[in-house]
Amino acid sequence: MSKIKPSQGAPYARIMGVGGYRPTRVVPNEVILETIDSSDEWIRSRSGIATRHWASEEETVAAMSVEASGKAIADAGIRPEQIGAVIVSTVSHFKQTPAIATEIAHKVGAGKPAAFDISAGCAGFGYGLTLAKGMIVEGSAEYVLVIGVERLSDLTDKEDRATAFLFGDGAGAVVVGPSKVPAIGPTVWGSEGDKSETIKQTVAWDEFHAERPEKFPAITQEGQAVFRWAVFEMAKVAQQALDAAGIAPEDLDVFIPHQANMRIIDSMVKTLKLPENVMVARDVETTGNTSAASIPLAMERLLATGQAKSGDTALVIGFGAGLVYAATVVTLP
């Protein structure tokens, strides 16, 4: 018989607060066209993106995260020292160690929480949300700060016609806490490693160190392959998340997909046969693809503009490099 004391966690978990930070510099397509042979019309038709935000030297991964986290903590109505864990999803923090989560935890005044980074690309927020839910239900933390943050402008090849216009910078954060009723549904997540080459860094860090190529490593992707996978396979995953939560499309109030591309978003809405009254996040138009930050940033904007409201039922789904994905149904804070 085990002598280990059983965990004393909450029955359920919920998102209690959300915050976002977009860098002050707004970059229109005209700037992108200075280094690639394309047109504003082509970029808009292929991606739906008109502008994106690029960070300044001072707007570091940590600085943007602290700003977004402060808003999320205030929105949740808790004190920073009540946070028991900080989870940061990012692929653009350039130090293998220490985790940037430790610095962020200190700067937001969280005391001595568990703090770690995860790397799950554009699905990272969903992965972090699921880990946070498990911590709260298991009892290892009462409140968890989940952050998605990227400075993808540092990893963008400005001369690559296929990707130069896609990526933006920013940070989104949520506070996850205890709930007496279900407010974060089961997560449908996974990976398809046989497609790992479709979105990748051009040069591995060890190769860069050994060969010192002139060009800094950047993110590249096979656009058509990613588009087909996202539209057809991720719609299935989204439906599985709805089924797992016991939610029908007509029961949804809001759909917040990863802001990868407007065509992908519109195609997913059509494939899922979402009713017209479901509010769909289309933050990509003015924020670009911010990877792990895109879902919380889009969530924050919908709530701030009144397009979504507290208590709404939302389907969130992230997908990206790996290829990895995570989808779940949540109640908005």
> What CA–CA distance (Å, rounded) separates 5 from 134?
18
Q: Is 106 a catalytic residue?
A: no
> Can you tell me which residue has the tokens 């790996």?
322
Can 122 be counted among the known catalytic residues? yes
Catalytic residue among 29, 93, 122, 261: 122
Phi and psi angles of residue 177, each rounded to the nearest 5 degrees, phi first: -140, -175
Q: Apex CA 169: angle with CA 28 and CA 50, to 5°?
A: 25
Q: Looking only at Cα atoms, what is the longest distance across the chain?
A: 69
In the block, residue with structure tokens 């966690």 = 9
By residue count, the chain amounts to: 333
| Among the listed residues 189, 319, 221, the one whose alpha carbon sits nearest the alpha carbon of residue 267 | 319
In the beta sheet, which residues pair with residue 146? Answer: 87, 174
In angstroms, the Cα distances linking 174 to 22, 126, 128, 205 are 15, 11, 10, 31
From 29, 93, 258, 261, active-site residue: 258
Active site residues: 122, 258, 289
